[in-house]
Chains A and B, each alone.
Chain A
Amino acid sequence: MVHRKSRAEKRELRSFYFFIAPWLFGFFVVTIIPLLWGGYLSFTNYTGLNMAHAKMVGLSNYFRAFRDPEVWNGLLHTGIITFVGVPLGLIGGFSLAVLLNQKVRGQGLFRTIFYIPSLVPAVAMVIIWQTIYNRNAGLLNALIDIFHQGTLINWISDLPNLALIIMLFWGIGGGMVIYLAALQGVPVELKEAAAIDGANAWQAFRRITFPLVTPVIFFQLVMGIIGSLQMLVPALLLTSSLLGAGYIPQIPQANRLYMVHLYQQTFQYQRFGYGLALAWILFVIVFIFSLIVVKSGHFWVHYEVDVETGRKVQ
């Protein structure tokens, strides 16, 4: 028999659409339509002037991206930032959480102080760190100077990737709070049972605590990689010279991340078609990396499984 919707079910469906109407508007009108239209524009030479001048150019924006040395350079630097910076931040945040998860006096105070830097937005972070990295008047060179006289490193222009990674490392407190909550959620009985069975602290951590928090680490890793691949503001502002009333980002070529190149091509040179092609390439890259990480999760992420139903426990 064909299931026919009762009156009550129809009413329920109507009220459901009423409630999610704002999301439907956002999804179709503000997200999907621009997304598809942007995809179309990536096959044109649209330069932000009259739409009538935009011509179909086929795949040539994409071919151009492959020949653009700046694209490869940007991918290299983005890769370095992602595959060094994200694991470092993850290990740092997790180690802090493990340290604080012991019976430490003043745990709340430590936690708050480590957490505060992660509240500092990129805009403010960049201004603070530019004065730290400054060659002549910066704090970092002055501190190294104590051990090694006459240090004059131009951190931002000579070691841009390191400068960016150190700056972002300052914000690991955000991850720490999440790991700490996860660690505190590990049942005490399990650890006690392990201790009775004669496990030492390291074994208990390795065999019980760590597996139980892998889902959280996994989630942070996925989000961290996705975020890092599309990082723009910290890199754009850190490496640009802020002084000068006009303020046009003057970024040395060697320091550009992929997104910085994309941003400049699109908005500074008004190459909207080319910029959109670069954006869609990034979309594909992000998608592939997310898939790889998610697949790898099957090998090391531990999910608790309900014995009776065989389903994942939320």
Chain B
Amino acid sequence: MPDGMAAERARGRFLSYGILFFLLVIFLTPVFWMVSVSVKTPSNLAVYPILFWPPHPAWVNFIEVWRRATVPRYMLNSIFLSTMYATLVVMTSSLSAYGFARCRVRIKNYLFVFVLGTMMIPSIVTIIPQFVLFHRLGLLNTYWPWAIWGLQTHAFMIFLLRQFFSTVPVELEDAAKIDGCNRLRTFVSIFLPISKPALAAAFVFAFQWIWSDYIPPKLYLQAEKIPFCVALIQGLSAPFRPDYAPDTPVQMAGVIYFLVPMVLIFFAVQRYITQGVVTTGLKG
């Protein structure tokens, strides 16, 4: 290889790493700032020029979050809502996905177009009439709407799981049939066990949606029933409690508590999730 080319390649390398490190710093700065704000005191926030890092980090803010208003209750609300929805939606969507993937009927391809079609409808068109309906049914300030949304399956989940079920070899299914399994038995005892990775990924997706979903709980729930993410936006304050007035550093500590479970769960099943994201991203 000529010297000039090697030198040019080295320069290119150097440039790539330079750009990557520069971008790394930019992407991490908001994360650093989040931590920095979360350990400031209100008086730290008021000084000029601003403090990039407070002289005496107030780690106590992370304890203060839990002493505020009804934060443990909000946290439990979030865990309950997310778990309930995710469990239901994975159960119902995997059933439907199996039907769309494996049943040998002609109509399924026509119906599947509608599954995909519902993904294209702007959600606001159904959110408003659903709100009016649920309101008239007396379901406001209850968790029932989440149960109904869980039972109704989710187009994206069906799509994801159908993709996975389609890859299971036919022989496996035929063997079960010969052994006298009906469709449901085949689904439960063959497809579910081998689909654990896909089901785990689907569960995590669903959990994270509800964990971070803002508009429905804001519309449907009030007072002590709200999930953590709505409480967070309200500054973890509580009505009639001036000692729980919104306080940016404590709120930011709350943001960290809000993000940690999401990031941890993500890394626990990262491999499956990236796979899922990539397949659905590729096969439009």
CB < 8 Å neighbour of A38 from B126, B233, B245? B126
In the complex where A26-B152, A38-B126, A124-B232 touch, is A132 in contact with B237 (Cβ < 8 A)?
Answer: no
Complexed CA–CA distance, A23 and B101 (Å):
14
Which of B45-53, B59-67, B195-203 is the contact stretch? B45-53
Question: Does A165 belong to the interface (CB within 8 Å)?
Answer: no
- Which residues B226-284 have CB closer than 8 A to chain A? 229, 232-235, 237-239, 245-246, 248, 251-252, 255, 258-259, 262-263, 266, 274, 277-278, 281-284
In this complex, how many residues of chain B approach chain A with their Cβ under 8 Å: the count is 93
Give every chain A residue within 8 A of B229 (Cβ-Cβ): 121, 123-124
- A34 touching B133, Cβ below 8 Å: yes
Contacts of A219 in B (CB 8 A): 281-282, 284
Tell whether B212 is near chain A: CB-to-CB under 8 Å: yes
Are B212 and A104 within 8 A (Cβ)?
no
**CB pair B246 A243 closer than 8 Å:** yes
Q: Is the CB of B149 closer than 8 A to any CB of chain A? A: yes
Q: Is the CB of A26 within 8 A of B105?
A: no
Contacts of A37 in B (CB 8 A): 129, 133
B-facing residues in A256-277 (Cβ within 8 Å): 259, 262-263, 266-267, 272, 275-276
A128 engages B122 (CB within 8 Å)? no
Cβ of B95: which chain A residues have Cβ within 8 Å of it?
Answer: 19-22
Q: Known contacts A124-B255, A127-B251: does B235 contact A41 (CB below 8 Å)?
A: no
Flag if A177 contacts B274 (CB, 8 Å): yes
Q: Which residues does chain A contribute within 8 Å of B178, judged by CB atoms?
A: none
Q: Please indicate the chain B residues that have their CB under 8 angstroms from the CB of A272 in the complex.
A: 128, 132
**CB within 8 Å of B: which of A215-242?**
215-216, 218-220, 222, 226, 229-230, 232-233, 237, 242
Chain B residues positioned under 8 Å from A18 (CB to CB) = 99, 183-184
Bitwise, B90-106 to A at CB < 8 A (1) or not (0) is 00110110111001110
Q: Nearest Cβ in chain B — how far from A281, in angstroms?
A: 10
Cβ-neighbour of B33 out of A38, A122, A131 (below 8 A): A131
- Which of B23, B29, B281 has the most CB atoms of chain A within a 10 A radius of its CB? B281
Which one of A20, A51, A129 lies within 8 Å of B30 (CB-CB)?
A129
Chain B 121-154: CB-based contact to A (< 8 A → 1; otherwise 0)? 1111110111111011000000000001101110
Which of B14-22, B79-87, B168-176 contacts the other chain?
Answer: B14-22
Which of A22, A177, A185 has most B Cβ within 10 Å? A22
0/1 string, A126-148, CB within 8 A of B gives 1: 11110110001111001001000
- In the bound complex, CA of A96 to CA of B26 (Å): 13
**Pair A247/B124 contact, Cβ less than 8 Å:** no
Given A20-B100, A96-B23: A35 touches B125 (CB 8 Å cut-off): yes
Contacts A16-B105, A20-B99 given; does A27 touch B45 at CB 8 Å? no
Query: Does B27 interact with chain A (Cβ within 8 Å)?
Result: yes
Contact A137 B124 (CB under 8 A): no
Q: Is A192 an interface residue (CB 8 A)?
A: no
Q: Which residues of B contact A17 (CB under 8 A)?
A: 99
- Contact partner of B132 (CB less than 8 A), chosen from A13, A41, A99, A177, is A41
User: In angstroms, how far is the closest chain B Cβ from the Cβ of A35?
Assistant: 6
Q: List 14 A-B contacts (CB under 8 A).
A: A12-B105, A15-B103, A19-B183, A124-B229, A128-B252, A131-B33, A131-B37, A139-B29, A215-B284, A230-B123, A243-B246, A245-B246, A272-B128, A290-B120
